[in-house]
């Protein structure tokens, strides 16, 4: 997924971050600086990532200042600090893989998870299932939001 993503005017250049999750069980953070990727972490295996063809993974990113936290299936798999792009930006899915096909099912992008600056509670959400409520609570706990 990409986040804090911004295009530079009318050009094809963009900047922001990627959280990459592999069907072989790895994850990695990458910063995209205009026309080139800058790895922020090495590929790291995580037991939280469901592996193989057809495996379903729920992926979340929490950003607070320069802290960026990755969650897969409700478990924190990693964290990085980078202050290059602190402003808000776009968020969205991305795909492309050398070791598998990517498909999205039940895709949700929920900008209401994190409160605006200066607000101590998140905007109301209506998660559809107990599993979504549990994931949301973990995201809120990691973000320091009460």
pLDDT at 105 over 80: no
Higher per-residue pLDDT: 32 or 144: 32
CA distances 47 to 25, 77, 100, 128, Å, are 7, 8, 18, 26
Q: Which two tokens stand for residue 33?
A: 């600086």
pLDDT tens across 106-122, in order?
666 665 544 433 333 33
The CATH number for 64's domain is 2.60.120
pLDDT at 1 over 50: yes
- Supply the range of the domain harboring residue 62: 2-143
**Gap between the Cα atoms of 9 and 7, Å rounded:** 6
**Gap between the Cα atoms of 48 and 50, Å rounded:** 6
Please tell me what DSSP assigns to residue 67: E
CA distances 49 to 12, 58, 82, 99, Å, are 32, 9, 24, 15
Q: Which two tokens stand for residue 18?
A: 């990627």
Question: What is the DSSP annotation of 101-126?
Answer: ----SS----TTSSPPTT-SSPPP--
What's the mean per-residue pLDDT of the chain? Answer: 74
Number of domains forming the structure of the chain: 1
Question: What is the DSSP annotation of 23-48?
Answer: TTSEEEEEEEEETEEEESS--EE-TT
């Amino acid at each position: 997924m990409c986040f804090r993503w911004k295009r530079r005017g009318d050009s094809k250049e963009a900047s922001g971050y990627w959280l990459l999750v592999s069907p072989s069980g790895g994850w990695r953070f990458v910063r995209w600086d205009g026309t080139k990727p800058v790895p922020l972490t090495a590929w790291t295996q995580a037991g939280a990532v469901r592996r193989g063809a057809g495996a379903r993974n729920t992926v979340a990113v929490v950003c607070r200042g320069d802290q960026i936290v990755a969650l897969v299936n409700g478990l924190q798999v990693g964290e990085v600090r980078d202050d290059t792009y602190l402003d808000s930006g776009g968020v969205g899915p991305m795909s492309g893989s050398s070791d598998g096909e990517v498909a999205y099912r039940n895709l949700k992008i929920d900008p209401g998870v994190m409160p605006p600056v200066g607000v101590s509670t998140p905007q109301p959400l209506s998660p559809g299932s107990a599993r979504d409520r549990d994931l949301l609570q973990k995201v809120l706990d990691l973000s320091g939001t009460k």
